[in-house]
A and B are shown apart, each in its own frame.
Chain A
């Protein structure tokens, strides 16, 4: 790893570890290997959002050219959000692309992601299906996001009705995640979800 990248990450790591946000359990960074090229981040779902109380794991890869180029970040925890792919976890956020600035740090990136969870940008979507639902059926979106948070991010609030629908689709012989995606995509309409699964 280039001299400058390693020195940066070493210092940033110290910074995040002793920051106030870590103290408040809002964000967290761990080393995956000893070379500071691969890190594991975690952010807490922001309050007053469907993600509240969830813990979202992030994969952070530091390029050789860091900090002149942004870190490569994606969600490891599955999440229902217009700017995050529900399939791959890829994130659409300007500061991780062309708006990156060398003065930004892991800490600011994680805080920006937290902010993204609180304020989605449906007009610049990563996941078109989610974005459409966000715009057209905000209530269904909220419940879906909450459901995904409880299932994948250990969120505290459970939605009994949605869980039952997933269960009934599973009973019809479909695989659990396939069933959940089908229902989420089809505004929790059982019939259409079943057709979606079969198509």
Chain B
């Protein structure tokens, strides 16, 4: 026996036991097997095993709406195999003590009515008096019938037992489009539909590469920012998002105003005609330029420019005139200070400090008007200032001339700048303290998270200790794990550890959602692994006792719940039951074929995407 078991070792060194209790065929295995797995021969288990095999036909969700087989049987089926409730051929036949047969769901539903009588002869009847008629079931399983898709042209004739697997692949079966487009198609045409016609299929936009539903594609093409559109002026094809810029800056045929617009030229020409216009209108443009120049000079009080470029009139500047200039410079300076402050706005920008220091230096320069750099500072201020420095020459002449009078207006600038400096400093300080606080909260948060994690672990550890050997394992996000298992990313899941008692054995459950080895892709595999625990020194090894593994049916209707439970007994010679030498014993013990995956999927074992597995560990003595 044990040799047979060890030959089933999984590649991951697990001692996996394929106990095919669930199939009626193996129910008839030699008694030695039964005794080695404890209660496998108990009526409860045999019933559940029976139920399992019934589910394995893959078409039997426990909805209470399923009725007998509605196939067209060839040759026609004798009336005695028909359920007198649904008139179909018996599915999961149940017999009454008065000798009548019904589909399991039909008779259970009938007995849920107030009357507890046989539907045929009114004999008293209750759920518990029903028993499975496996003789009839086996006969019916071998009846042959036409594929229900024969109307669509499928000429397959199959046994009742194998019909579900044929239907899963029948090329002429009606199937809903998996893209949820509400179409129902013959499976043969499905691929074509999904690639060519489905409104919900994903298509790539050739222009922007984005993916979207085919139904929305037309609309997308009309608005794709990368789609090409024709410029209505020059006819060039430009990406939709570029068209505005194209019109504004590039299109040769768009009308644009002459560059002398600001000086009074009101002509609008196509871009490619602008050069021509400039060439042709030299004279008017020159006169506009001249007028503009004169106007500006008047504005700043210059009557004439000397040929050397030194303003003749500069000598005539009075202190009041200079102060007038200075005050007209205040505005640009303020603007300047605003501009230098702006980069500070960007959080975490290291330059913010530098820029405030720029303001500082600029202020310090203000303070020493005799500094030769003074005029340069002003020139760096604004365009207007540069004009001034130019007219006053590179010399410190203008400054020297009336240092006292400069103090007045400049002090106005200074106070403004000082104010802004003060603001800047404040800002920097706030920023600094903000960063410090942020760092502090982050540390706190990290610590808190660590603590929480620690507590969570302690709580689950405690939970595991207090469960007294009855551990419920909820696998949430079942579908995600199942997918990962199918793709081979995470094939095995382990539960939190739990103890048989506060001072008992430490174990965990392993679930291979997509099965292992020979059960891969067909069954859920469940195993128990022993773990190194605090009490190992106190305990007896190898472990001696029984373990009940079960998958809970979460059907809303309590009567329809079919929990699947299996009991296994420890075998002292197996490595799985020895004292673990690693944190978790590599060798586990359990069932490779605990539950067929199609049963799991088509029933209420999974609700809210959660699978509940229970382990009950009962040490002997």
Contacts and interface: CB of A to CB of B under 8 A. Distances in A.
Given A67-B85, A102-B84, A7 B120 contact: no
Interface string B86-113: 1110000000000010000010011001
Nearest to A104: B119
Interface string B346-388: 0000000000000000000000000000000000000000000
Contact of B117 (A11, A69, A101): A101
Given A68-B113, A103-B119, A3 B88 contact: no
B67 A3 contact: yes
B573 interface: no
Contact of A102 (B66, B88, B119): B119
B86 A7 contact: yes
Contacts of B115: 98
Contact of B110 (A8, A11, A99, A102): A102
Contacts of B276: none
Contacts of B84: 102-103
A98 B115 CA distance: 8
B85 A7 contact: no
Contact of B87 (A3, A11, A69): A11
B73 to A, nearest CB: 13
B437 to A, nearest CB: 66
The dominant DSSP class at the B interface is loop
How would you classify the secondary structure of chain A's contact residues: helix, strand, loop or mixed? loop
Contacts of A7: 67-68, 70, 86-88
Contacts of A68: 85, 109-110, 113
Interface in A6-22: 7-8, 11-12
A99 B88 CA distance: 23
A9 B118 CA distance: 21
Contacts of A67: 85-86
B65 interface: yes
A57 B451 CA distance: 81
A72 interface: no
Contacts of B70: 7
**Size range of the interface on A?**
10 to 19
A4 interface: yes
A24 interface: no
A172 interface: no
B358 to A, nearest CB: 83
A26 to B, nearest CB: 22
Nearest to A69: B113
Given A68-B109, A98-B115, A102-B106, A4 B122 contact: no
A68 B64 CA distance: 12
A6 to B, nearest CB: 10
B113 A4 contact: no
B256 to A, nearest CB: 73
Contacts of A101: 117-120, 122
B119 A4 contact: no
Contacts of A103: 84-85, 100, 119-120
Contacts of B65: 2-4
Contacts of A8: 85-87
Interface centre among A7, A8, A11 (most CB of B within 10 A): A8
A7 B120 CA distance: 19
Nearest to A8: B87
A4, A8, A12, A98 pick with most chain B CB within 10 angstroms = A4
A143 to B, nearest CB: 38
Contacts of B109: 68
Given A11-B87, A12-B87, A102-B85, A4 B106 contact: yes
Interface in B37-96: 65-68, 70, 84-88
Nearest to B88: A7
A56 to B, nearest CB: 26
Contacts of B86: 4, 7-8, 67
B63 to A, nearest CB: 9
A103 B120 CA distance: 5
A101 B122 CA distance: 8
A7 to B, nearest CB: 6
Nearest to B113: A68
Nearest to B85: A102
B456 to A, nearest CB: 47
Interface in B555-577: none
Contact of B67 (A4, A12, A69, A104): A4
A104 B87 CA distance: 11
A1 to B, nearest CB: 11
Interface in A65-100: 67-69, 98-99
A3 B324 CA distance: 98
Interface of B: 65-68, 70, 84-88, 100, 106, 109-110, 113, 115, 117-120, 122
Given A4-B67, A69-B113, A101-B119, 6 more contacts: A67-B85, A68-B109, A68-B110, A68-B113, A101-B120, A102-B85
29 contacts: A2-B65, A3-B65, A3-B67, A4-B86, A7-B67, A7-B68, A7-B70, A7-B86, A7-B87, A7-B88, A8-B86, A8-B87, A11-B88, A12-B87, A67-B85, A67-B86, A68-B113, A69-B113, A101-B117, A101-B118, A101-B119, A101-B120, A101-B122, A102-B85, A102-B119, A103-B85, A103-B119, A103-B120, A104-B119
Sorted from nearest, which 4 A-B pairs have the closest CB atoms? A102-B119, A103-B84, A11-B87, A103-B119
